[in-house]
Amino acid sequence: MHIVETEIKGIVIIEPTVFSDERGYFFESFSQKEFEQKVSKTVFVQDNESRSRYGVVRGLHFQRPPYEQAKLVRVVKGKVLDVVVDIRKESPTYGQHVATELSEDNKRSLFIPHGFAHGYATLSEEAVFQYKCDHYYMPDYEGAILWNDPKLGIDWLLSPEDIILSEKDRRNPLFSVKS
């Protein structure tokens, strides 16, 4: 496992060691021991999976304290632009974001610690997205930010006419007025 630091401290890209031959490939997608040694002492309690078609934007979502969620995310089919926004008010990178491509081809994972909003845009015909969480989902503590808030300046790499949102994500508050 190779760790790539991003512009925001704590958010890291994890590149696995892939073994390929004429049969195909093999890689270890997660090792608790190695993850704790190289990334964080995080214990994951829930795994989730979603499937989306081209143009779907999900996010930007987060959980409020005391049920914040650290996440380890990856794509097993297709390609997404994964976006993480720093919502820690005391942070020097407050309001900044990291965007990275996750795909079945690059096999990367992204670790998102507590204090960040998260979302992704599906860039392939279909994408299957998996993520581990360190807390269970608590609907009463859910928070969100409008995906296209101009203050954030996120380029989702999609044409506006191709973007597909849930009704809920269309109504998310702006970053400047989020609670």
Annotated catalytic residues are: 61, 131
With H, G, I as helix, E, B as strand and everything else as coil, classify residue 6. coil
C-alpha torsion sign, points 100, 128, 174, 117: negative
DSSP 125-176: SEEEEEEEESS---GGGEEE--TT-TTT----SS-GGG-B--HHHHTPPPGG
